[in-house]
Chains A and B, each alone.
Chain A
Amino acid sequence: MNQLRRIMVIGNSIEAWLSAAYLRARLPRNDYQIIVIETAENSMASSHTIFARPSSKNLHHILDISEANLSRVTHAKPALCATITNSKGAIIELPFGQYGVDREGTEFQHIWKFSGSQQPLAEFNLALMMHKAGLFINNAPKGAPTYDYGYILDEQGYENILKSKASTQHIIANSLKLNCGNKGIEEINCNGESLSADLYIDVRSNDFDMAWNHNHLKIMGGFDMLDHQSGMRLYRIQMAMERLFKLWPDREFAAIEIAEYNRLEKAQSVHINDMNRLLQHNIQGCSDALKRKIRLFESRGRIAIEDFEIYSKAEWIAALKAIGISAQNYDRLAHRISAEAALQWIDQLHTAIANLVQQLSNKNTGKQ
């Protein structure tokens, strides 16, 4: 039999337990053994919270963690944007909702620019406006700019849920040595004992060229504050697991499948690095993909979409604007309505959003 049967997850905290819980949820208990080798190193200065992007809803669906459970155990608070404080102390909000409402096939930001409206673009983003006012409702009212939401979770509570979902054997590694050869890991020595598995998922890495090599799959687990604030800490694990399950290997570890995994991983890492560079105001020598994004946005406020995008258009717009890049012009399609009609419509939308936020504040129903 060539099937994988024994999988070891090496690492600690959320990264390790999320990986183990995901494997547990997708692999029948009777057929697969999952062991967590819990290492001691601390991958970051703890901030006691975990930020989850909207895509974590899908993750929680797979893990069978209901929103009610999440809220009870982790005091989950909905988040309408990711709030980043960069190394220069600047605060940048990446919204999980669109700017304004598209009209007649034209994206809102073009009509806004064309109209010459004096209202800041951010004031047309309902997610941002509600976030600023400390408000939350599940769904945008009809006709209003749409949004989604992620969560701010208590780290310890979240780890506890994941542990219970993983419900798997774990070994605390006081000492750990990986014996690596050409074909990945030959064995590991944990607390003086030799252990082996069919697949090793190592979530401690923060520096690697190849994400997956034979039986050794490395997932970025060493992260910085930026990754933490933007939700990449969970997202990287979620994506790695999704890729792994798309390309589920057997013990032969076909090189072509591993190459495909590494290709996808690399493409996504470029997007994360690009966004991090923008957030850090550090675009010198950036990737061609980011140069293209900047060039297109500067010219007409367009967002270039690449394969395997992670961030929404609205997040890119917010990040680009935050470093002072603004669109010099707009799409020709904006001219489909007259400038006066555009301005009138824009003003109405602005008033409607402001009124909605005001009403929610007055009622105090939507307080987060």
Chain B
Amino acid sequence: MEEPKINDIIIVGGGTAGWMTAAGLSSMLGKTGLKITLIESEAIGIVGVGEATLPHIKFFNESIGINEAEFMAATAATFKLGIEFVNWGRIGDSYIHPFGEFGLANAGIGFHHYWRSMIDDEATGALDEYSLPIMASRMAKFKPPSEDIRSVHSTYRYAYQFDATKYAPFLRQHGEVRGVKRIEGKLTQVHLHPENGDIVAVELENGTVIKGDLFIDCTGFRGLLTQGALETGYDEWSNYLPCDRAVAAPCTSHGPLLPYTRATADKAGWRWRIPLQHRTGNGHVYSSQFISDDDAQKSLIDNLDGEPLSEPHFLRFTTGKRKKLWNHNCISIGLSGGFLEPLESTSIYLIQEGITKLLEYFPNKDTLATDRDEYNLLMDLEFERVRDFLILHYHATQRDDSDFWNYMRTMKIPDSLSEKMELFRARGRVASYDRGLFLQPSWIAVYLGQGIIPSKWDDRVALLPEKDVKHHLAGLKQLMRQSADIMPSHADYIAQYCLSEARI
């Protein structure tokens, strides 16, 4: 019997989501006879923001055969060792959420317990001083991690900061070489099956009708297939994450090239600063309930490090996710599937997860329902776990200087998060789970950075004489500082490894 294979995939949208999907599917399934067509409209364009990433993207690029140096040069990318949060817990505070570990566990007890037991001692210093990626970030240094697990240089990972307008075109070349057919045109209509409601074809402005077996909606916030045609619905999370607008404006680079993104809390949201090779990306994410567009723009422009390079660009969004990321024979990947705001650079990660899970649960026509249910279950879990982590940043604050922060500080949060916070507050324990993006060190960095200091710590710390603990801490601090110190500067490393033409 002939296998009821899916043969024709239609991707609508050629932004980061569309071209990442096309590149991922063509690399992994191109050889299986799958035909991939991507429709995009240059007239409509892409959102063009989304410059900071998480370390997982390195794996995505590698798995589709992308050469790192070429990719970095093409997208004017820099390395990213973490995210600095300024003014979040209180005005004047700053901490870095690093892509790596803190200190060294001892006798099965997490390092932060030893650190917590000694915070009253001035010599102990901030937790940041016990993390190599943080020390390197502060010194504007970079070197790829070592593969030797005995080396302290193996205790971190890295991501990229890149020009969002250049990543999709770079992937386009990659996808087209692997057989992705690109159609320029504007989608105007979606044809549904009269009985089962599945999408059978999409129609373009010029009348061309394109049929397919499986449709990927990468049309951005519009969600033309999933919402426009299938009316999937949206779970709004704006009660937890009320920021709903952003204004973006790049500026000239200023100062040393930093290997991290900065997120500075503002009166009714926060401002990002992302250093690229040729410029700095900036934006202000805010809640329109609490600040006007004009004031948001003014705060952005007043705080730029360099000269503005273009007119400010406004964007609107609603935080949340589609009720079903895969509905009928249509999968929403990228902004069409949902948006949790860019605070922890999770959107491109969620695109990547969407692609990986689609590959894992790639359907046949007769197994679609089972694959779809599993996909939705796993992706919902990803979104929810990311959501809780983001809320933590806003909620665990002592700021009371604006209505926005008063709302965030006192709002009701999901039970899943309040239990996690209570557990940490009690004795510095991080709730365990296997699946989900953020692991223990990330939670520790943000809990402590936001000012949740556990009232107690693991009792067994006291088994080590205090002088030994102090000695251990002092040794580690020195190790981190010295190890960061010997790294090359981030700018030098970039210059010899992947200098972009945009910069030259």
A interface residues with partner B (beta carbon < 8 Å): 2-4, 26-28, 31, 105, 245-250, 254, 256-257, 259-260, 264, 292, 295-296, 299-300, 302, 304-305, 307-309, 329, 331-333, 335-337
Question: Roughly how many angstroms separate A264 CA and B432 CA in the complex, as a whole number?
Answer: 8
Residues of chain A within 8 A of B360, CB atoms compared = 302, 331
Question: Roughly how many angstroms separate A273 CA and B57 CA in the complex, as a whole number?
Answer: 38
Residue A332 contacts which of B29, B370, B433 (CB distance < 8 angstroms)?
A: B29
Residues of chain A within 8 A of B462, CB atoms compared = 3
Question: Roughly how many angstroms separate A2 CA and B377 CA in the complex, as a whole number?
Answer: 43
Could you list 13 further interchain pairs (A-B, Cβ under 8 angstroms) beyond the known A296-B370, A329-B364? A257-B429, A299-B367, A300-B367, A300-B371, A329-B367, A331-B362, A332-B34, A332-B363, A333-B359, A335-B29, A335-B31, A335-B33, A336-B28
Interface of A (DSSP majority class)? loop
Question: Roughly how many angstroms separate A148 CA and B404 CA in the complex, as a whole number?
Answer: 55
> Is B423's CB under 8 angstroms from A309's CB?
no
Residues of chain A within 8 A of B435, CB atoms compared = 305, 307
A27 CB to nearest B CB, Å: 8
Residues of chain A within 8 A of B5, CB atoms compared = 332
**CB contact under 8 A between A336 and B374, given known A246-B429, A248-B459:** no
Most buried by B among A245, A292, A332, A336: A332
**CB contact under 8 A between A247 and B429, given known A307-B434, A335-B33:** yes
> Which residue of chain A is the closest to B29 with respect to CB atoms?
A332
B385 CB to nearest A CB, Å: 11
Could you list 18 examples of A-B contacts with CB < 8 Å? Answer: A3-B462, A4-B459, A26-B107, A248-B458, A248-B460, A249-B459, A250-B459, A254-B427, A256-B419, A256-B426, A257-B426, A300-B370, A308-B432, A329-B367, A332-B5, A332-B29, A333-B29, A336-B31
Interface assignment of B463: CB less than 8 Å from any CB of chain A: yes
Question: Roughly how many angstroms separate A259 CA and B422 CA in the complex, as a whole number?
Answer: 11
**CB contact under 8 A between A28 and B32, given known A292-B374, A307-B434:** no
Question: Roughly how many angstroms separate A305 CA and B435 CA in the complex, as a whole number?
Answer: 9
B106 CB to nearest A CB, Å: 13
> Is B32's CB under 8 angstroms from A304's CB?
no
> Is B423's CB under 8 angstroms from A260's CB?
yes
Interface assignment of B456: CB less than 8 Å from any CB of chain A: yes
The digit string for B422-464, where 1 denotes a CB below 8 A from any CB of A, is: 1100110101111100000000000000000000101110110
Residues of chain A within 8 A of B422, CB atoms compared = 256
Interface assignment of B92: CB less than 8 Å from any CB of chain A: no
Residues of chain A within 8 A of B63, CB atoms compared = 105
A242 CB to nearest B CB, Å: 9
> Is A309's CB under 8 angstroms from B434's CB?
yes
Residues of chain A within 8 A of B31, CB atoms compared = 335-337
**CB contact under 8 A between A105 and B28, given known A257-B426, A335-B33:** yes
B206 CB to nearest A CB, Å: 32
> Is B32's CB under 8 angstroms from A332's CB?
yes
> Is B108's CB under 8 angstroms from A333's CB?
no
Residue A254 contacts which of B6, B374, B426, B433 (CB distance < 8 angstroms)?
A: B426
> Is A333's CB under 8 angstroms from B432's CB?
no
Chain B residue total in the interface (Cβ 8 A): 40
B246 CB to nearest A CB, Å: 34
A117 CB to nearest B CB, Å: 17
Most buried by B among A31, A300, A307: A300
> Which residue of chain A is the closest to B364 with respect to CB atoms?
A329
Residues of chain A within 8 A of B426, CB atoms compared = 254, 256-257
The 10 closest A-B pairs by CB, nearest first: A335-B32, A332-B362, A299-B370, A254-B426, A307-B434, A256-B422, A3-B459, A336-B31, A299-B367, A256-B423
Residues of chain A within 8 A of B423, CB atoms compared = 256-257, 260
A159 CB to nearest B CB, Å: 25
Residue pairs across A and B with CB atoms within 8 Å: the count is 88
A10 CB to nearest B CB, Å: 22
Question: Roughly how many angstroms separate A58 CA and B363 CA in the complex, as a whole number?
Answer: 39
A350 CB to nearest B CB, Å: 24
> Is A26's CB under 8 angstroms from B434's CB?
no
Question: Roughly how many angstroms separate A296 CA and B377 CA in the complex, as a whole number?
Answer: 13
Question: Roughly how many angstroms separate A302 CA and B419 CA in the complex, as a whole number?
Answer: 33
B100 CB to nearest A CB, Å: 21
> Which residue of chain B is the closest to A336 with respect to CB atoms?
B31
> Is B362's CB under 8 angstroms from A299's CB?
no
The digit string for B32-57, where 1 denotes a CB below 8 A from any CB of A, is: 11100000000000000000000000
**CB contact under 8 A between A245 and B108, given known A264-B432, A333-B362:** yes
Q: Which residues of chain B in 349-388 are interfacial with respect to chain A, using CB atoms and an 8 Å cutoff?
A: 359-364, 367, 370-371, 374, 377
The digit string for B20-36, where 1 denotes a CB below 8 A from any CB of A, is: 00000000110111100
**CB contact under 8 A between A296 and B459, given known A245-B108, A307-B435:** no
A13 CB to nearest B CB, Å: 26
> Is B362's CB under 8 angstroms from A259's CB?
no
Residue B431 contacts which of A3, A31, A260 (CB distance < 8 angstroms)?
A: A260
Question: Roughly how many angstroms separate A74 CA and B96 CA in the complex, as a whole number?
Answer: 52
Residues of chain B within 8 A of A331, CB atoms compared = 360, 362
> Which residue of chain B is the closest to A259 with respect to CB atoms?
B419
Residues of chain B within 8 A of A333, CB atoms compared = 28-29, 32, 359, 362
Question: Roughly how many angstroms separate A259 CA and B432 CA in the complex, as a whole number?
Answer: 12
Residues of chain A within 8 A of B456, CB atoms compared = 250
> Which residue of chain B is the closest to A2 with respect to CB atoms?
B459
Residues of chain A within 8 A of B434, CB atoms compared = 305, 307-309
> Is B433's CB under 8 angstroms from A307's CB?
yes
Most buried by A among B34, B422, B432, B456: B432
Question: Roughly how many angstroms separate A351 CA and B174 CA in the complex, as a whole number?
Answer: 39
A268 CB to nearest B CB, Å: 11
B424 CB to nearest A CB, Å: 9
> Which residue of chain B is the closest to A263 with respect to CB atoms?
B431
Residues of chain B within 8 A of A254, CB atoms compared = 426-427
Residues of chain A within 8 A of B431, CB atoms compared = 260
Question: Roughly how many angstroms separate A296 CA and B371 CA in the complex, as a whole number?
Answer: 8
**CB contact under 8 A between A260 and B364, given known A248-B458, A333-B28, A333-B32:** no
Residues of chain A within 8 A of B429, CB atoms compared = 246-247, 257, 260
> Which residue of chain A is the closest to B6 with respect to CB atoms?
A332
Residues of chain A within 8 A of B32, CB atoms compared = 332-333, 335-336
Q: Which residues of chain B in 91-130 are interfacial with respect to chain A, using CB atoms and an 8 Å cutoff?
A: 107-108
B11 CB to nearest A CB, Å: 16
Most buried by B among A4, A256, A305, A309: A256
> Is A332's CB under 8 angstroms from B364's CB?
yes
Residues of chain B within 8 A of A259, CB atoms compared = 419
**CB contact under 8 A between A31 and B463, given known A307-B434, A333-B32, A336-B32:** yes
Question: Roughly how many angstroms separate A336 CA and B34 CA in the complex, as a whole number?
Answer: 10
B247 CB to nearest A CB, Å: 40
**CB contact under 8 A between A299 and B371, given known A256-B419, A256-B422:** yes
Question: Roughly how many angstroms separate A249 CA and B427 CA in the complex, as a whole number?
Answer: 9
A99 CB to nearest B CB, Å: 18
Question: Roughly how many angstroms separate A105 CA and B31 CA in the complex, as a whole number?
Answer: 13
Question: Roughly how many angstroms separate A304 CA and B434 CA in the complex, as a whole number?
Answer: 13
Question: Roughly how many angstroms separate A294 CA and B456 CA in the complex, as a whole number?
Answer: 44
Residues of chain B within 8 A of A296, CB atoms compared = 370, 374
Question: Roughly how many angstroms separate A260 CA and B430 CA in the complex, as a whole number?
Answer: 10
A326 CB to nearest B CB, Å: 15
Question: Roughly how many angstroms separate A256 CA and B107 CA in the complex, as a whole number?
Answer: 23
Question: Roughly how many angstroms separate A247 CA and B431 CA in the complex, as a whole number?
Answer: 10
> Which residue of chain B is the closest to A3 with respect to CB atoms?
B459
> Is B108's CB under 8 angstroms from A26's CB?
yes
Q: Which residues of chain B in 197-246 are interfacial with respect to chain A, using CB atoms and an 8 Å cutoff?
A: none
